[in-house]
Chain A
Amino acid sequence: MTDQTAAIRPPGRVSPLARTREIVLSSPLVTIAAVILVLVVLSALLAAWIAPHDPVRLTPSQRLKPPSETYWLGTDAFGRDLFSRIIYGGQISLVVGVAAAIVAVISGLMLGLLAGYIRWIDAVLMRMVDGLMAIPSILLAIAIVSLWGASLWTVLVAITIPEVPRVVRLVRSLVLAAREEPYVEAAIAAGTPPFLIMRRHLVPNTVAPLIIQGTYICASAILTEAILSFLGAGINPETPSWGNIMAEGRIYFQINPGIVLWPGLVVSVAILSINLLGDAVRDALDPRMAKRGIER
């Protein structure tokens, strides 16, 4: 009787590219979401070549025109081309979304690790986090913007700060669970310093949930930026973003509803796509979901 019940198999690792393809093709809905997202990102990146008009050039003679061959989605109150403004607006919105997600995830990860691993930091930090979470995030963002004045940087900070506490809580709970694992205790017994334990044994446990949390923060940051712009607390109104296009258009809603509806549609579809992709990534990383797949 030998101890070879599970013969040692060769490593079976899937390349990241194959994994991505697997996730994207997992359901038609996810495929559509991915295609939409790629289109939105590409159009924002290549705005200078794609946009038919200059998004900030005023043409007073062409105010509030309905869609036509020249102006595909019509014009706004200053005669600027709506289609071009939406494409350029994607730049700001996507930068805000991606940057907020990355900054919030990284700073939340650092703080969450400290809170989860070091007792006294936990007590202090979590009370601050509780305090921050008690303030509605939009209110906090408006306060920050009004304190330092509107610019891309302050808007970014204002959007990111309210997102951090959620990441801290998530990471802390993951760390609290993971540090009870025998392999972490074995590392402590082997004299591994706390910093290395966090990097080698705790951080990998947080990666999958953080990817998902990141996609949600990205979506909600785009939304918050739009709300801030809509309320007039966003970036400089000259620069188009999806939010301030809608904000400016709301007065003319009855004359040309397209000014609000088109950017609104783009925001909704983009956020829906990001969330769908986030769900697909979560399902792909969750082994329980994979098991359910067998039964189908």
Chain B
Amino acid sequence: MSLLDIRNLRIALNGAWDAEVVKGLDLSIERGQTMCLVGESGSGKSLTALATMGLLPPALKSVAGSITLKGENLLEAAPARLRDLRATSMSMIFQEPMTALNPVARVGQQIEEVLEFHSDLSQSARRSRVKEMMEAVHLPDVDKMYASFPHQLSGGQRQRIMIAMALIMRPQLLIADEPTTALDVTTQAQILSLIRELREDQGSAVLFITHDMGVVSEIADDVTVLKLGEMMETQAIDDLLRRPQTDYTRDLLRSVPSQVPRPPRDGQSNEVVLSTDNLSKTYSGGGWFSKSREVKAAQDVSISLIKGRTLGIVGESGSGKTTVARCIMRLIDPTSGKINVGGTDIAMLSQKEVKPQRKKIQIVFQDPMRSLNPRIEIGQSIIEGPLNYGTPRDAAMTRARELLELVGLPASAVDRFPHQFSGGQRQRIAIARALAMDPDVLVADEAVSALDVSVQAQVLDLLAELQDRLGLGILFITHDLGVAAQICDDVLVMQHGRVVEYGRAGQVLGAPQQDYTKTLIKAAPGRHWDFANFRPFAEAAE
């Protein structure tokens, strides 16, 4: 008998059975196996996990079907019984390790708390058990770590603490809800191998929730694909990747950006639309009396972007890639260096002097929920820029309608509000707003990172199409090597504010010279698998 057995699970919002958010899910996990639950936002994958843990929010209390853990139906268990099971038989790791830990308690004590409630061990026995566990998740300097506060640890260390906390009672079932999504790729690789190792050591079953096919290919034994609450298919990992049964899974796999760099485009134009020369940004804190430490967010960054080409800036969090983008946009003032936009150095100009140059360079931000003013119609957002430069309102509005059609939305959408659109649609609107200025350069700051993979593929296609048609130079900031490989002609890798490697995409991503670039590429999940062609790269080469 399987350890966890979910039969015909159905969850409805506010008891409305005609609007179910999970529609008849069947799933079972054996001991020592990892089941991946895959789906885009709104697929109900997190709700399934919460239902198993008995942690559904009150609005979603209408649950039908059965969730059986070791022969016991969890949906009928009393709250006290569930509380007991949650520590001893099943436990959960969440996406954001910073908010899941109590910021004012020492991390060691937070792990120990679990033992305090669920075991009869003495205090010294508890403490040694906690330290053992912390060693098992490969935390360095355990004695010092034990007494640290969450803010003193890195994101990866915090996630290790969460895992230690989840595993301290040796539960048979571990539920991991997007445990690596908030982490950098190198950290993600470490956490994934840790989960794999612990599963083997403790023989527990893992229910792993993710939206990332790369991660799935690294960790799964079996995969269940969900779409809008409906179960699409369940298969062993190799079968799923090679022979997906449904169109949805096929599309999902095809949307995964390939890690292989795009073929280089032949250069007809050599017109440089944007270049920087030793651009640096230093943040210095302190007041009149004290000089606190300086943070060099970007140092000596020199780039050049050719008309109609895409330059990618790649790096992990804190690498300074966004600082560079914001300096180029003059949203922050660079400390030194030059920024040439269409032949003018804008690095040291005043805001008033920059204004005429702003037309030439526009930006698309990461978060589609916050990049449009929620209180004004999208048409007004789009024409804001042109109006500032003296375009008559009627002409600007006509142009806004054309632009909406250009980015694949109906022209009549101009008088709708941002909340009436999905994330992908809003990102299209943000692109239309940037294009309204007829810029030479488009800066995309993680512009597709917040989107589902299928929507991400569409927005990338749109950018490529617009680039072809309008001859845009695109500066593409991303942490995702797959996305960079897919659309960039040139790639610049940054670490700790410095440029590590800069060159043609094929060279940097295909045959990297620097150790850091090699590490990054090696850490990228699913790099052996050619998702779009349903086979590993190794077979393609044969």
Contacts and interface: CB of A to CB of B under 8 A. Distances in A.
A11 B422 CA distance: 15
A182 B384 contact: no
A193 B352 CA distance: 9
B413 interface: yes
Interface string B356-397: 001101110111001111011000010011001100000000
A193 B388 contact: yes
Given A11-B420, A182-B370, A183-B371, A191 B365 contact: no
B410 A8 contact: yes
Nearest to B373: A183
Size range of the interface on B? Answer: 35 or more
Interface string A163-186: 000000000000000000111011
Interface string B411-438: 0010111001111110010100100010
Given A1-B248, A204-B375, A189 B331 contact: yes
A70 interface: no
Contact of A1 (B251, B415, B428, B433): B251
Contact of A186 (B57, B363, B410): B363
B422 A4 contact: yes
Contacts of B433: 186, 190
A9 B331 CA distance: 34
Contacts of B359: 191
A57 to B, nearest CB: 54
A295 B421 CA distance: 25
Contacts, number: 91
B371 A182 contact: yes
A29 interface: no
A169 to B, nearest CB: 21
B355 A8 contact: no
A201 interface: yes
A62 B95 CA distance: 78
A11 B416 contact: yes
B128 interface: no
Interface in A1-59: 1, 3-6, 8-9, 11
B282 interface: no
A295 B13 CA distance: 11
Interface residues of A, number: 26
| Residue with the greatest number of chain B CB neighbours at <10 A, chosen from A9, A189, A193 | A189
B494 to A, nearest CB: 21
A139 interface: no
B421 A189 contact: no
Contacts of B8: none
A8 B389 CA distance: 31
Given A183-B373, A189-B329, A294 B59 contact: yes
A8 B361 CA distance: 30
Contacts of A11: 415-417, 420
Contacts of A204: 373, 375
B9 interface: no
Interface string A106-132: 000000000000000000000000000
Given A189-B331, A191-B388, A5 B424 contact: yes
A211 interface: no
Given A6-B425, A183-B372, A183-B381, A189 B420 contact: no
Interface of B: 14, 42, 57-59, 248, 251, 255, 329, 331, 355, 358-359, 361-363, 365-367, 370-373, 375-376, 381, 384-385, 388-389, 408, 410, 413, 415-417, 420-425, 428, 430, 433, 437, 454-455, 458
